[in-house]
Amino acid sequence: MNLENWFRPAVLKMKGYVPGEQPKDTTTVKLNTNENPYPPSPEVLKAVRDQADQRLRLYPEPAADTLRKRLSQVYRWPVEGILVGNGSDEILSILFHASVGKDDLVQYPDITYSLYPVLARLREAKIKEVKLKPDWGLDFKKFSPAARLTLWGYPNPPVGNCFPQTDIKAFCRKAKGLVLIDEAYVDFAKDHCLDIAKACPNVLVLRTLSKSFSLAGARLGFVFGHPWVIAELMKVKDSYNVNRITQAVGLAALSPAGLADMRKNVRRIRLDRNSLTKELRNLGFTVPDSQSNFILATRRGSPSSEGLYKNLKKKRVLVRYFPHPRLKDSLRITVGTPAQNHRFLKALKEVMSWELEVRSEIRKLLTPHS
């Protein structure tokens, strides 16, 4: 089989995006993919039931115009400056497809959403990764203002911190290319960057209903930008990229009742995030303050973070481990319900205690007797 005759060299060389594990065992505590632990709004579930009729034989609105109007009302943004996609990942793909060609410069922090490098390599772009500071901050002066596309998260995964808006504004004003601020988790944060996008026509702000709205399974994202920029992105999207049921789900989620349910769950997650952070710090982990629905817990020494991850999995508790050199001592933990967080902490303490006892016994056996 000669794959070289069938695929582009850039595709054969690259590594694909690796999503978090999706267990089929419903007894597993799943704290590895930053899903919301609470169900969607009842308004959303009603919308799904109402759409399950003969209308499924009909195509959806091609540009999701009704949903764009609702988004315009909620976020006070012109309809012409909104693009809706099949999850925020599709919008990222559209953006790369529309703006990035071979050898164009794409830049992002060295630690951020791991889909960015996949899309950049797919377009055969030149890549610049700006190393985050030891405190996970970002020196925007190290970004090139000449890049075709610059991206980062606000909050930035997998740490969950937000970079200073003064630094963001200063860079966006001098950037010659497009800048995308990925606000997938912004509803859990203290602030947002929509005002920056209003002031800078080259800036796009990406949002999703996956996290705060508990709709990861519906796949609905949207991006705010200057109408001229959105018009160019519209040219390369699929004809009917957001299905009929998902559009109805989005309208229901953005209704007054749907927004109230989202905000209630966000408040609960923020409180539980603070409690979980405190518990992990008491166990000896370093945990930066997070403005998202996940936290990054770092602990050097024994037992290793990879060992903790594997042994937690044996206890049917999933967290996320990254082999990245700067993350190998860390675990990313999604904030769950109080019951899920309790089960995770209980399993973590058991695993830590068991591993330390085993290592102690091994040291005793290896120590020569006098």
- State yes or no: pLDDT of 365 exceeds 80: no
- Phi/psi zone of residue 27: left (φ > 0), alpha (ψ -120 to 50 degrees), beta? alpha
Q: State the pLDDT confidence band at 368, using cuts at 50, 70 and 90.
A: low
Q: State the pLDDT confidence band at 8, using cuts at 50, 70 and 90.
A: confident
**Where in the chain are all domains bearing CATH 3.90.1150.10?**
23-36+259-365
Alpha-carbon span 131 to 109, nearest angstrom: 6
pLDDT of 16 reads 86
Give tens-digit pLDDT for 310-363.
999 999 999 999 989 999 999 999 999 999 999 999 999 999 986 656 555 565
Listing DSSP states for 214-261 in one string gives S-TTT--EEEE--HHHHHHHHTTS-TT-S-HHHHHHHHHHTSHHHHHH
pLDDT of 364 reads 61
């991850």: which residue's tokens? 309
Query: In this predicted structure, which of 6-10, 44-48, 174-178 has the lowest mean pLDDT?
Result: 6-10
Give tens-digit pLDDT for 181-228.
999 999 999 999 999 999 999 999 999 999 999 999 999 999 999 999
User: Are 168 and 193 in contact, with CB atoms under 8 Å apart?
Assistant: yes
Average pLDDT over every residue of 152-169: 98
- Greatest CA separation for the chain: 84
Looking at per-residue confidence, does 199 or 301 come out higher? 199
Q: Which CATH class is domain 23-36+259-365?
A: alpha beta
User: Are 70 and 113 in contact, with CB atoms under 8 Å apart?
Assistant: no
Average pLDDT over every residue of 163-177: 98
pLDDT of 356 reads 58
**Dihedrals phi, psi of 322, to nearest 5 degrees:** -115, 130
What is the chain's mean pLDDT, rounded? 94
Q: State the pLDDT confidence band at 255, using cuts at 50, 70 and 90.
A: very high
- Phi/psi zone of residue 76: left (φ > 0), alpha (ψ -120 to 50 degrees), beta? left
| Cβ partners under 8 Å of residue 54, min gap 6 | none
pLDDT of 13 reads 85
Q: Do the bridges between strand 29-30 and strand 82-85 make them parallel or antiparallel, or are there none, so unpaired?
A: unpaired
**Where in the chain are all domains bearing CATH 3.40.640.10?**
42-257
Q: Do the bridges between strand 149-153 and strand 126-130 make them parallel or antiparallel, or are there none, so unpaired?
A: unpaired
DSSP 3-state assignment of 49?
helix
Alpha-carbon span 280 to 260, nearest angstrom: 30
Give tens-digit pLDDT for 262-273.
999 999 999 999
Is 208 exposed, middle or buried, given 0-12, 13-18 or 19+ CB atoms closer than 10 A? buried
Alpha-carbon span 288 to 160, nearest angstrom: 8
Q: Per DSSP, what are the bridge partners of residue 64?
A: none
Alpha-carbon span 271 to 321, nearest angstrom: 24
Is 169 exposed, middle or buried, given 0-12, 13-18 or 19+ CB atoms closer than 10 A? middle
Alpha carbon 211 to its chain centroid, in Å, reads 8
- State yes or no: pLDDT of 305 exceeds 70: yes
Alpha carbon 310 to its chain centroid, in Å, reads 23
| Cβ partners under 8 Å of residue 212, min gap 6 | 36, 185, 187, 188, 262, 265, 266, 293
Query: In this predicted structure, which of 39-48, 215-224, 295-304 has the lowest mean pLDDT?
Result: 295-304
The CB density around residue 146, as the number of other CB atoms within 10 Å, is: 11
pLDDT of 357 reads 62
Q: State the pLDDT confidence band at 303, using cuts at 50, 70 and 90.
A: confident
CATH node for 42-257: 3.40.640.10
The percent of residues above 70 in pLDDT, for the chain, comes to 95
Give tens-digit pLDDT for 116-155.
999 999 999 999 999 999 999 999 999 999 999 999 999 9
Strands (DSSP E) contained in the chain are 29-30, 82-85, 105-109, 126-130, 149-153, 178-182, 203-208, 221-224, 294-298, 317-318, 330-334
pLDDT of 69 reads 98
- Both tokens of 75, joined, read 């976020």
pLDDT of 272 reads 98
Alpha-carbon span 174 to 196, nearest angstrom: 13
